[in-house]
Structure 1
Amino acid sequence: MTNEPDDIRDWWQTSIIDMAPGKIAFRGRPIEDLIGTVSFPQMIWLMTRGDLPSPAQAKLLEAALVAGVDHGPQAPSIAAARMAATCGVGLNNVMATGVNMLGDIHGGAGEQCAELYMLIAGRLDASTALDAAIEAELSAWRAAHGKIIPGFGHRFHKPTDPRAPRLMALVREAAQDGIVTGRYAQIAEALQARIGADRGAPIAMNIDGATAVIFCELGFPPPLSRGLFCLSRSVGILAHGWEQMQQGGRNKGPMPPDYLPRYTPSKPDES
């Protein structure tokens, strides 16, 4: 394995895994030393970050992963997975169908929310007061993206998403124990209050907003917020896909066959 030309061996380069016949090591740690000694959240951290988290850090990451696993068949990712399960494809295809539904609007808002938190944090680093930092970045965000702020608001859970307060409580506990700083929790809660004040009614911090707090507190870059949510929601997609396979059904569409979409004819050409 060591005699190949460098242009072949250098085709792919990775610091993640060192694999050869009889050898598997992740980030320099033999697989046999990891099996049975690290948790799955710790392994996720090791693979994406290069080191092992403390048990307390892994516990906080795990809480975020647990919170996002599922939101029922009305969630597009779950609905798509269940429909795919009735189309004769394998479970891996079912899971891929669901994961591929996770985009900027559904499932990917955590990345955008983490970016916003970090922009506000950057202003705080420049000695801007929290209220002024939020005002500046909120105005800039709305000017660039519109009135909807990622991480806040929910079509079902009003004015509270039951997942968020629990996650935020865990962040505050971790901050008290010195595991995280708590600065992103402070930013998120102040941002939530400001959005609510602007609209004249309380607004929920949703799962994207709450998990983005945890991912930022733990030092994950914003794009990984989306990837980590995909890992989390994959559990629900797997469970729903498998359940649908057990229930049966063939070629189920998005609504029962007795109901058809409303036909709306196009306007006549007025030219």
Structure 2
Amino acid sequence: MTDRNDVSDWWRTSIIDMEPGRIAMRGHPIQDLIGNRSFAQMIWLLVIGEDIEGPRAALFEAALVAAVDHGPQAPSIAAARMAATCGIGLQSAMATGLNMLGNVHGGAGEQAVELYARIADAGQGALPQVLDDWRAEHGKFIPGFGHRFHKPVDPRAPRLLGLIDDAAKEGIVDGKFADIGRGIEAHLAAERGKSVPMNIDGATAVVYAELGCPPPLARGFFGLSRSVGILAHSWEQMQQGGRNKGPTPPSYRWTYEGE
């Protein structure tokens, strides 16, 4: 940094340029983007730094739509709804829910993209060994597969995979990560003797991997998507009212394990 630019160079960005009366996002005047880009396209432009159009943009938007909500029992949604009854504002309730998204709840998409990439690098024939190595490193759970509620199938996964298949037929994406996801699903079913369905994390990870997203962005895009459900539930709870709602009705008590 030069002495003259020590302040302006403190923060450096390629995302936005601005002066009085002018705003440019990634080099595009904001007035040219308004009305000409969808919200999903705008997200991609700002985060990735490139335009996304046509079927690729539709795939990205489909993944965002698929993960918006999973009901009041999802930890992020439950936390936001409880927070909404505590006298805080809407944005604070949303922040409470978003802060629940971690390695277990919200991180599986990132982990699944990483796993798919490992299998792609090793080759489909090495899938069993890669899964064994993953378990040795991370534990028994395979990210993106199995669901405590949706059995035998998570209805979101086949739809997203179908969209990927259609795009692959048109040469929009390669389709190899969809094949890898299906290969994992088949291997787990044979291994356990029962269906282990691909879940929303595994399916959106296929989309993001096909679109070339690095693993951390799969988690970031999931959080962005889930924030819509968090907003909806926070607002609904505020309309319903309630004061200091806990995770269960007051008549239910916890188990005390002390002396």
Q: Secondary structure at the match of 2:140?
A: coil
Q: Does 1:84 align with 2:77?
A: no
CA–CA distance in structure 1, aligned partners of residues 98 and 57 of structure 2: 24
CA–CA distance in structure 2, aligned partners of residues 67 and 50 of structure 1: 23
CA–CA distance in structure 2, aligned partners of residues 211 and 8 of structure 1: 41
Q: Which piece of structure 1 moves more, 136-145 or 210-219?
A: 136-145
CA–CA distance in structure 1, aligned partners of residues 22 and 100 of structure 2: 37
Distance 1:131 1:159, change over 3 A: farther
Q: Secondary structure at the match of 2:18?
A: strand
Q: Does 1:103 align with 2:97?
A: no
Q: Does 1:118 align with 2:111?
A: no
CA–CA distance in structure 2, aligned partners of residues 191 and 137 of structure 1: 10
Deviation at 1:158, TM superposition (A): 1.2
Q: Does 1:131 align with 2:131?
A: no
Q: Does 1:39 align with 2:38?
A: yes
Q: How does 1:68-83 map to 2 (within 5 A)?
A: 68-83=67-82
Q: Secondary structure at the match of 1:105?
A: coil
**Root-mean-square deviation (Å):** 1.2
Which residue in 2 is equivalent to 1:204? 197
Deviation at 1:136, TM superposition (A): 2.1
Q: Secondary structure at the match of 1:257?
A: coil
Q: Secondary structure at the match of 1:6?
A: coil
Q: Which of 198, 212, 221 is the matching residue for 2:214?
A: 221
Divergent runs of 4+, >6 A: none
Deviation at 1:155, TM superposition (A): 0.3
Q: Which of 169, 174, 183 is the matching residue for 2:167?
A: 174
Deviation per residue, 1:67-112 (Å, 9 max, x gap): 0000100100100000000000100001111111111111111000
Q: Secondary structure at the match of 2:24?
A: strand
Percent identity between matched residues is 64
Which structure 1 residue ranges, 5 or more long, are not aligned? 125-129, 267-271
TM-score, with structure 2 as normaliser: 0.97
Deviation per residue, 1:139-194 (Å, 9 max, x gap): 11010111110000000011210110000000000101111000100001001111
Deviation at 1:54, TM superposition (A): 1.6
CA–CA distance in structure 1, aligned partners of residues 140 and 255 of structure 2: 30
CA–CA distance in structure 2, aligned partners of residues 42 and 164 of structure 1: 22
Q: Secondary structure at the match of 1:181?
A: coil
Q: Secondary structure at the match of 2:95?
A: helix
Which residue in 2 is equivalent to 1:187? 180
Q: Which of 138, 146, 169 is the matching residue for 1:153?
A: 146
Which structure 2 residue ranges, 5 or more long, are not aligned? none
CA–CA distance in structure 1, aligned partners of residues 106 and 254 of structure 2: 26
CA–CA distance in structure 1, aligned partners of residues 94 and 176 of structure 2: 35
